[in-house]
C-alpha cells in the first residue's frame, strides 16, 4: 500500500472514526457517504463519529496460513467484532492464547502495528483488539 493510500485513512485506522446517518441514526464503519437504509434521504447528512472501540466477539478464527505481511505472526486470531455502537468490523485479537477466545467475549481496541511496506517503506498502524481484562 502506497503512503498516500494509507495516509488518507489514518483517522479511521488510528481512532476508529466512522459515520452516523443523520436521518436514521445508524452508525457505520468504515466511512460511508450514503446510508444503505436511507439512500437519498441520507445524502449530505452523514456525519463523522468516533467509536469507543469496545465490543464483543461475533465470530473468530485462528489463522495458520497468513497472508504475506502477517507470516511472522502465525498463528494469529482474526475476528469480527460487534462494536457497542452497532457496526461490525474485522480486526485481529492480540495478547491472549488462541484457545482463550470465545464468541460473545467483550473486547477493547488497542493501537498496534498492522504491517509495513517492506523493509524500507512506511509502517502501517491501526486498531486491533484485546479481551477485556
Partner 1 sequence: MRDVAVIGVGVTKFGELWDKSLRGLIVEAGLEAMHDSGVTSKDVDALYGGNMSSGLFVSQEHTAALIGDFAGLASRHIPATRVEDACASGGVALRQGYISVASGIHDVVIVGGVEKMTDVSESLATDALASAGDREWESFLGVTFPGLYAMMARRHMHEYKTTKEQLGAVAVKNHRNGALNPKAQYQKEITLEQVLNAPMVAEPLGLYDCSPISDGAAALILCPLERARKFTDNPVKIIASAQASDTLSLHSRRDICTMDATVAAARNVYRQANKKPKDIDLVEVHDCFTITEIVAIEDLGFVKKGEGGKASEEGLTALNAEISVNPSGGLKSKGHPVGATGVAQAVEVITQLRGEAGKRQVKNARVGMTHNIGGSGATAVIHIFEAI
Partner 2 sequence: MVGIVSYGGYVPRYRIETKEIARVWGKDESIGKGLGVFSKSVPGPDEDVATISVEAARNAMKKCSVNPGEIGAVYVGSESHPYAVKPTSTIVAEAIGAGPNLTAADYEFACKAGTAAIQTCMGLVSSGMIKYGLAIGSDTSQGAPGDALEYSASAGGAAFLIGKENVIAEINKTYSFTTDTPDFWRREGEKYPSHGGRFTGEPAYFKHTMNCAKGLFERTGTKPSDYKYAVFHQPNGKFPVNVGKMLGFTNEQIKTGLLTPRIGNTYSGSTPLGLAVILDVASPGDRIFAVSYGSGAGSDGFDITVTEKIMGIDRNPTVESFIADSKIIDYATYVRYRKKLWLGGE
Which residues would be at the binding site for partner 1 (CB under 8 A)?
Answer: 1, 9, 30, 58-71, 73, 75-76, 78-80, 87-92, 98, 103, 114-115, 124, 126
Nearer to partner 1, 52 or 90 (CB): 90
55 binds, among partner 1, partner 2, none (CB under 5 to 8 A by kind): none
CB of 44 to partner 2, least distance (A): 25
Q: Which of 72, 99, 102, 104 binds partner 2 (CB under 8 A)?
A: 72
Nearer to partner 2, 31 or 94 (CB): 94
Contacts for 117 with CB less than 8 Å, ≥ 6 apart: 1, 2, 3, 123, 124
- DSSP symbol at 1: -
What's 75-130 look like in SS3? CEEEEEEEECCCCEEEEEECCCCHHHCCCCCEEEEEEEEEEECCCCCCEEEEEEEE
Q: Does 128 bind partner 2 (CB under 8 A)?
A: yes
Amino acid at each position: 500500500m502506497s503512503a498516500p493510500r494509507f495516509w488518507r485513512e489514518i483517522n479511521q485506522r488510528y481512532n476508529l472514526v466512522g459515520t452516523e446517518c443523520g436521518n436514521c441514526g445508524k452508525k457505520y464503519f468504515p466511512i460511508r457517504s450514503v446510508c444503505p437504509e436511507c439512500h437519498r434521504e441520507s445524502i449530505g447528512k452523514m456525519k463523522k463519529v468516533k467509536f469507543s472501540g469496545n465490543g464483543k466477539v461475533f465470530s473468530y478464527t485462528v489463522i495458520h496460513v497468513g497472508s504475506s505481511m502477517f507470516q511472522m505472526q502465525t498463528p494469529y486470531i482474526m475476528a469480527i467484532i460487534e462494536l457497542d455502537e452497532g457496526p461490525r468490523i474485522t480486526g485481529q485479537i492480540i495478547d491472549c492464547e488462541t484457545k482463550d477466545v470465545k464468541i460473545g467475549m467483550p473486547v477493547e481496541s488497542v493501537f498496534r502495528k498492522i504491517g509495513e511496506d517492506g523493509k524500507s517503506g512506511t509502517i502501517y498502524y491501526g486498531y486491533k483488539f484485546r479481551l477485556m481484562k
